[in-house]
Chain A
């Protein structure tokens, strides 16, 4: 049995790979871990919906789930914050170094060449 986080991740991956909304049963069939109880899949789908990562629509007696946003959109959101591009200047993360542009980058590039030649 995988950890809950990993299960959430594989379920999101399945739904991102599909273009159509899936039911819990369909998702369950596509998960590698075949021993998974169907209720576990439903619980995780429900959790992901409550967190706002999935939208669900009624289909007869079952729910169909699909991602609220694309994977790329979430990667972009993470990286905007990681690269300090949100303009918030908050202290949510501690970043290794900032990228610079123009003449400043030129100075750094020269320093890098010098250091590597040493």
Chain B
């Protein structure tokens, strides 16, 4: 019983933590640390909520979730037959279903993303050209402003003709440094599970806010990396030029406005706040590691 209760408490704590983190602003002063915390909250929430259901269901086995599940699979018989065990049986079904849904959602999203990227890569081969002025960057003949990274084993940075004419050389350098940071840190892998979860639970506000927070933090992390190599002011003006040029994306009914996100990034670049102290960061990193380890351990211990 204790195992299930602790796991349920952990899942609740993660949900509350996520809700709190969506409105926290210290995250902007340490985006990479905050991303790590988000990831550990996500993983732990998934494992703790499924684990709580399963731990309760398998409690009569007294062997913990992992070994309880194994025992169940080997005997193929749910070894409890008392009347009130309908609750436990429901809990078992719910836990397994939730686990299956989470795994399926992640796999489907991963496959869809890979397919979309493969198609995009194929089209780029046929459409994009190399431009001597910007070596290593693919250029698409399109008058609007676009700059993005197509992630993969061989990531490609792509810009449009519109970007070339919109930005000064310094600004272009800044944008390319930003995109290079996405490539280097594989930010797409950070975003994937959050985007997948949002796709699966489009009505969930916490999930939506979480996904938007993480994608803003990823941009901020790339900005931070880029400013080491280029003028932060040029990166800021490039952001503003991008924000006011081209076709506005359709906006979700309730989401954080993209304009506010651009301004938040610009303000950080122009007037950087004091970075989060190192010992605070260390504390958060340690907390994230402990949190991530806690759910698998609770799956193992006999409850």
Contact = CB atoms under 8 A, between A and B. Distances in A.
Interface in B119-151: 120, 122-127, 140-142, 144-151
A104 B258 contact: yes
B141 A75 contact: yes
Tell me the interface secondary structure of chain B in the complex: helix
Interface string A70-90: 010011011101111101111
Interface in A97-116: 97-101, 104-105, 107-109, 111-112, 115-116
Interface size class of B (residues with CB under 8 A): 35 or more
Given A9-B125, A75-B127, A115-B237, A85 B247 contact: yes
A77 B249 CA distance: 15
Nearest to A6: B125
B239 interface: yes
Contacts of B219: 97
Interface stretch (B63-71, B93-101, B110-118): B110-118
Interface stretch (B41-49, B83-91, B186-194, B275-283): B186-194
A45 interface: no
B4 to A, nearest CB: 33
A8 interface: yes
A111 to B, nearest CB: 6
B140 A85 contact: no
Contact of A109 (B122, B182, B187, B244): B244
A27 interface: no
Contacts of A82: 140, 146, 148, 158, 160
B142 A75 contact: yes
B32 interface: no
Contact of A74 (B126, B158, B175, B250): B126
Nearest to B124: A78
Given A51-B122, A97-B219, A99-B145, 12 more contacts: A83-B247, A93-B148, A93-B149, A96-B179, A96-B239, A97-B262, A97-B265, A99-B244, A100-B243, A100-B248, A101-B248, A104-B258
15 contacts: A78-B123, A79-B160, A83-B144, A90-B199, A93-B117, A94-B188, A94-B222, A96-B239, A98-B243, A99-B145, A99-B245, A99-B249, A100-B257, A100-B258, A112-B237
Interface of B: 109, 112-113, 116-117, 120, 122-127, 140-142, 144-151, 158, 160, 175, 178-179, 182, 187-188, 191-192, 194-196, 198-199, 218-219, 222, 233, 236-250, 257-263, 265-266, 270
